[in-house]
Amino acid sequence: MINLCCVSDFNFLPNGLALYESMKQFDSNFTLHYLCMDDESFELLKELNEDIVAYPLSDFLNRDEALADLATQDYRYFCWSLASYFTNYLMDKINENITYIDSDIFFYDKIETVLNEIGSKDVGLFRHRQYPLSHPNGNGWFNVGVVHFKNSDVAKELLSWWADAVLHKKYPELATCGDQKYLDVFLEHAENIFIDGNIGHGAPWHWQLYDYSSYFEDGCITWEGKKQKLVFSHFSDFTTNIEDNTYTAGLRHSVFTPQGMYQTNSALKKIHDDYFESIKYVHQKYLDTKESI
C-alpha cells in the first residue's frame, strides 16, 4: 500500500480532490491521508471512500500546546508547519513509507513513477529548478510540493528534525520561506537523498525554463537538454472563478513566468486549461457548488 498525505482547508479542497482524481486514474492501491483544517472539509471527506482517510485538525490542536500556540500567534507560518508536522505524525503512526504532497499538485502519470525513480534513497526531494544548487537563495533549493520519506532510520531522523525545527521556529536563518529552506539541511546526508532524477515537474517558477516542442506528441518537456515526461505539476497560486468560468495562473510568480506565456504557449495553455477542467469536474462531482473559489 502506498501512503500519501496532504493538508488543506475547504477553500483548497477542490485542488485536493483534483489531486486525488489525478492519482486515482492511474492507481488504486494507495491511501491519501488528508489533514482537514476545518470542519467543512472533514465532514465531506470522512465518509467519502476508503482511499481517503480524513483527520480533523482540532484533534491535533487539542493535544499539542505548541501547535495551538503557533496557530494563534502566526497563522500563516502555522499553515506552513503542517506539512512536516502531519507527515511526521503519520510516520510515527503507520510506520511505513510516506509521501507528502501539496493539495495543488496534479499528476499525469502514476505515483509509482516517482517512487520507483527514488528507489532505495531515504528521502526524495524536487528542486526549485530556477536556482542552481551551487547558489544559496532565500527560498531554498527544494519545493515542499512533493517530499518522500522511507521508513528508515535516516529518513525518520530527518523528518523528525524538520517537523520540530519548523514547529518551534528553530534556526531563524532557515525560516526565510516558510518550511522550505529547512530542506537544504538534508543535503548534509547527500548520499541518502534523491534529487529530481529524470522526473519532469512543472510549476510557475519552472515553466519558462522548458522547451515544449514535443509535448503534444509524447507529453514531455525538455530542460537543460534533457527530455523528461511531465509527471506532475504544482499549480501554486492558481485561482478560479467557477461561476464566470475563468482562471488565473500563477500571478504571484510572474517574476519567473510572465502571464502572457500562459496564453501564447499552446502546451502551457493546455496544461492549465486541463487543470481548470479537473477543478470544475470535482466541483460538480463532490462539492455541487457554483461559488467562486
Each residue of 80-117: b (16+ CB within 10 Å) or e?
Answer: bbbbbbbbbbbbeeeeebbbbbbbbbbbbbbbebbeeb
What the chain holds in terms of domains, given with CATH numbers, is 2-200 (3.90.550.10), 201-267 (no CATH)
DSSP H stretches of helix in 95-171: 111-118, 153-167
Q: Tell me what pLDDT residue 47 has.
A: 84
Residues 6+ apart with CB under 8 A from 241: 247, 292, 293
pLDDT tens, residue by residue, 103-126: 999 999 999 999 999 999 999 999
pLDDT tens, residue by residue, 175-184: 888 899 999 9
Instruction: Compute CA distances 189 → 169, 192, 254, whole Å.
Output: 22, 6, 34
**Most confidently predicted of 37-51, 131-145, 208-222:** 208-222
Q: Tell me what pLDDT residue 224 has.
A: 95
Cα-Cα-Cα-Cα dihedral sign, residues 136, 138, 142, 147: positive
Q: Give the H/E segment covering residue 54.
A: strand 52-56
Q: Tell me what pLDDT residue 293 has.
A: 38
> What are 257's three cell numbers?
513566468
Name the band, by pLDDT with cuts 50, 70 and 90, for residue 134: confident
